[in-house]
Amino acid sequence: MHVQPAAFLRTTLPLDLSRLDDLDGGRYHSIWLPDHMVSFWPDSIWTPEFTDLATASPSPHRHLDGLAVAAAAAVLTERVPLVSAVVDTVRRHPALLAQTALTIDHLAKGRFILGLGSGESENTLPYGFDFARPVSRFEEALTVIRLLWGSDGPVDFDGQFYTLRHARLDTEPYQGRHPQIWIGASGPRMLDIAGRHADGWWPAGAWTPEHYAEMLSAVRTSAERAGRDPMAITPGFMQVCLIGADDAALAEIAQAPLVTAFLLQVSAKTLRGFGFEHPMGENWRGFQDIDPAVLTRERILAFLADAQPEMLLAVVPHGTPSEVAKIIKAYVDAGLRVPKILDYGAMAGLAYAESSAANVRAAEDELLRLCGDVS
């Protein structure tokens, strides 16, 4: 397949669906819609003291149901595929996921892709969900979804996490084809599951082109062992980056508190690999340890005092749109085919948020020029 960028549609308030006509014009491979209860940014720094974004929105956690928004987008578009990026299998029972995916796919006339992941702490633990053994739960949920999609009548199932008794899902798939399933995976077990089950794959984090290539190889090796065509799995990636007009703008962006807070999503092990000790301590697991409500002001102030711009710039592609495109081209050379360029520079403040969309589009244009006929 040729390289084609993906678009991103935020599912937070205020919800803006006015861009859908533009996104449906053929430029984008697909539209990716997140599904969260909360965001990664700590409450303690979402205040006017740290960012003027807090004057525009009282909270970073004003999330809507991502699948409900996907259903709305399905009837407001005609061409572009819609992808949940991603729904976890902790908060939603797989039988419900199976039915909801079929529903949205009928609304979209066959354009819905069910993007799934094993879950994250901040969306599960505060609400009392059982987050034990998330990968095993995820694999069993996949089994249940496929079982319900593929059965002609009532089915029984006895698993570790789910039980079905005379369960049925008689809703036929749109034009006889079930929705594709894309899987977000980075760890060895999840990469193996993706190879055996996924139609598309994203890593939760790929810190270098070599890292991306290594994970993609693991997915394809797993697919081969399962007797699947490894090249039929679409390789995607939501590439967090920092885009600025020049070095001075980048320096200001990299020091903004909400941008610096991206390091909270990076594990101590990963940051150590780039030669830095993590400001949150040697055992910090990245996004798995984030609970924005309990990261106190004192702890975040200590984190910001110890965080260095060099740490952030080591793990996040950065530069002008042209420079960022060249970096992402290295990921394309490693196998990436559907990139989503996500400019975290927008979190530096309202002025940078206003220019972010144009910067992303310029980077996309340059990336497509660099890729040419890559397939």
The pLDDT tens digits for 292-302 are 888 889 999 99
H helix and E strand count, the chain: 15, 12
Q: How far is CA 20 from the centre of its chain?
A: 19
> Which pLDDT score, from 0 to 100, does residue 295 have?
87
The pLDDT assigned to 260 comes to 96
Q: What is the pLDDT of residues 303-338, one digit of tens each?
A: 999 999 999 999 999 999 999 999 999 999 999 999
CA dist 40 and 299 (Å) reads 15
The pLDDT value recorded for residue 339 is 98
Between β-strands 338-343 and 112-117, what pairing exists: parallel, antiparallel or unpaired?
Answer: unpaired
Structure confidence at residue 328 (pLDDT): 97
Per-residue pLDDT at 125 exceeds 90:
no
* pLDDT, tens digit (0-9, with 9 covering 90-100), for 332-370: 999 999 999 999 999 999 999 999 999 999 999 999 999
C-alpha closest to that of 327 among 375, 369, 367, 365? 367
pLDDT band at 170 (very low <50, low <70, confident <90, very high): very high
What does the radius of gyration of the chain's CA atoms come to, in whole angstroms?
20
Collapse the DSSP code of 272 into the 3-class scheme (helix H, G, I; strand E, B; otherwise coil) and give the result: helix
SS3 31: strand
Domains of the chain: 6-243+317-371 (3.20.20.30)
User: What's the average model confidence in pLDDT over 210-229?
Assistant: 98
Residue 227 to residues 171, 191, 196, 221, 312: CA-CA distances in angstroms?
A: 29, 16, 9, 10, 40
Q: Is the pLDDT of residue 121 over 90?
A: no
Chain mean position to CA 281: 25
For residue 76, the model assigns a pLDDT of 98
pLDDT range class, residue 120, cuts 50, 70, 90: confident
Q: Which of 65-69, 254-258, 287-291 has the lowest mean pLDDT?
A: 287-291
User: What was the pLDDT predicted at 289?
Assistant: 84
- What token pair was written down for 163? 């039980």
